[in-house]
Amino acid sequence: MDAQYGARYRDLYERHWWWRARERVVLRELDRLRPEGGWDRILDVGCGDGLLLPALREYGAHVEGVEPDAALVSAKRPLDAPIHIGPFDESFDPGHRFGLILFLDVLEHIEDAGAAVAYATTLLEPGGVMLVTVPAFEHLWTTHDDLNFHVTRYTRTRLHQLLGASLHVERSRYFFHWVYAAKIAVRIREAIHRPTPESPEVPADPVNRALLGLSRAEEMLLQWLPLPFGSSLIAIARKDR
């Protein structure tokens, strides 16, 4: 991640409509998936400053994260949920397995995403769940992807192939449908003007609240419709028992 962007990530996560809306999507899925009593252990891969970890405590007895970029982990991180700083590979050996592992907009940063998913599968308990979100469609690539050092964007087919190599994909769908059209417009504008990548800003409060409301309303109305487009993609996969 761009250093300037990384320095502002906490503020963006806490206030920007996109991060607020995505968190709601993720937590609604966890509400649906949560076993009776919750999961014993939860791992958030690429957790950054642990911003989701407090919410995950509602779903599991033991919550932890792993973050490869030490610059993203600050003194403000939650101190009662461990964050392991280092690469997500065999060098990360927690000594236990997890009932739930999350990759929230992480796999698009990884050159060998298949290796990351395969290793995460070894850390899942039998019957454990993996929840993944990724940006969708290469034709939506903008300077925002450059700023984030993305390697790729995904389609449902490609993500199913990636996860299906070691897990059973139970459900996947596109979301942020209205953002798809907005990203197309940005792509066209950038093709004409070729701007320098810039860190996103939190919109003015009325705009921010309106876009958050639009995103939440769309999610409530369309979450069960298999629309073939959206700017993001979510998938739920499970390890065989």
Determine the pLDDT at residue 4. Answer: 64
CATH number of the domain that residue 224 is part of: 3.40.50.150
Q: Which two tokens stand for residue 194?
A: 């070729």
Q: Is the entire prediction scored with pTM above 0.85?
A: yes
Taking the CA atoms of residue 6, residue 53, residue 239 and residue 150 in that order, the dihedral angle to the nearest 10 degrees is -10
**Per-residue b or e along 132-147, where b marks 16 or more CB atoms closer than 10 Å to that residue's CB:** bbbbbbeebbbebbeb
Q: Which residues have CB under 8 Å from 130's CB, separation 6+? A: 100, 101, 102, 103, 117, 120, 121, 124, 163, 167, 236, 237, 238, 239
Query: Kind and range of the H or E element at 10?
Result: helix 9-15
Q: What is the tens place of the pLDDT at every residue in 115-164?
A: 999 999 999 999 999 999 999 999 999 999 998 999 999 999 999 999 99
**Count of residues making up the chain:** 241
Q: Locate tokens 């939650």: which residue?
A: 78
**Domain total for the chain?**
1
Identify the domain containing residue 232 by its residue range. 3-238
